[in-house]
C-alpha cells in the first residue's frame, strides 16, 4: 500500500487508471467523464431553493435534462473529486493549505486578494474556452481526448499554449543561461 501514501504518483499509472475509469463510466452510464454540468446543476439547485419564481422562468436550466436540480452521478463525481483530494492529502501527509503559494509570493507578491482574483479570472477564461469548444475542461481533457475529438484536442493544445505563455508572463520566467553563456 506504499503507492497510496506517496506524495506523487507516476503519471503513467494515473493515466492508465483514468483510462480504465473512462471505460467503466462509458460502460455503466454510457456517458463520458465531465464535470461542468454539475456546477450548472448546483446553480439550478440553489436558484430553485432561493428564488423558485426566477428558476421557473430561467430557460437555461430547462433547456437540457442534464441541468435538472437533483444530484446525479456527475454531481457526485465532483463531490468525489474533492473528497478524494482531501483523502489523498491526509494519507500522504501532504496537506499544506495556503492561499498564496511560495511561487506566487516570490513572483507576484503576498496579496491573497490578488491571488484569488487571478485564480478566478483564469478559471472563468478556461471554462469559457471549454464551453466554446462544446464541453468542459475535464470532459475535453479526459473523455474528449480519449475519443480523439478534434474540438477536444484543439482545446487542450490552446490551453497548454496559453497556460505556458501566461506562466511566462506572470512569473517573468526566462530561459536559464548555461555557465558558458554567462
What pLDDT digit, counting tens, does each position of 98-131 carry? 888 888 888 788 899 999 998 899 888 877 777 6
Rounded distance, CA 40 to CA 43, Å? Answer: 5
The number of residues making up the chain comes to 182
Instruction: Evaluate if pTM is beyond 0.85.
Output: no
The half-sphere exposure of 146 on its side-chain side, counting CA atoms within 13 A, is 20
- Angle between helix 150-171 and helix 112-132 axes, rounded to 10 deg: 160
- 92 and 49 within one domain: yes
pLDDT (average), residues 172-181: 52
Which pLDDT belongs to residue 117? 94
Domain annotation covers residue 143: yes
- Do 51 and 111 lie in one domain? The reply is no
By the 8 A CB rule, do 86 and 97 touch? no
Residue numbers of the domain that contains 167: 100-172
Domain boundary among 77, 97, 117: 97
Give the total number of structural domains in the chain: 2
Examine the fold and report which residue of 65, 97, 129 is the final residue of a domain before the chain moves on.
97
Amino acid at each position: 500500500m506504499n503507492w497510496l501514501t506517496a506524495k506523487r504518483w507516476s503519471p503513467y499509472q494515473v493515466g492508465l487508471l483514468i483510462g480504465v475509469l473512462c471505460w467503466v463510466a462509458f460502460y455503466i452510464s454510457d456517458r463520458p467523464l465531465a464535470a461542468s454540468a454539475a456546477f450548472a446543476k448546483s446553480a439550478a439547485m440553489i436558484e430553485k431553493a432561493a428564488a423558485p419564481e426566477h428558476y421557473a422562468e430561467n430557460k437555461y436550466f430547462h433547456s437540457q435534462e442534464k441541468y435538472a436540480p437533483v444530484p446525479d452521478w456527475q454531481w457526485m463525481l465532483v463531490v468525489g473529486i474533492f473528497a478524494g483530494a482531501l483523502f489523498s492529502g491526509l494519507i500522504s501527509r501532504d496537506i499544506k493549505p495556503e492561499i498564496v503559494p511560495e511561487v506566487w509570493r516570490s513572483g507576484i507578491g503576498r496579496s491573497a486578494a490578488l491571488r484569488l482574483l487571478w485564480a478566478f479570472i483564469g478559471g472563468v477564461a478556461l471554462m469559457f474556452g471549454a464551453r466554446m469548444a462544446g464541453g468542459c475542461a475535464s470532459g475535453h481533457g479526459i473523455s474528449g481526448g480519449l475519443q480523439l475529438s478534434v474540438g477536444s484536442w484543439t482545446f487542450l493544445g490552446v490551453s497548454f499554449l496559453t497556460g505556458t505563455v501566461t506562466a511566462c508572463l506572470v512569473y517573468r520566467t526566462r530561459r536559464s543561461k548555461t555557465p558558458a553563456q554567462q
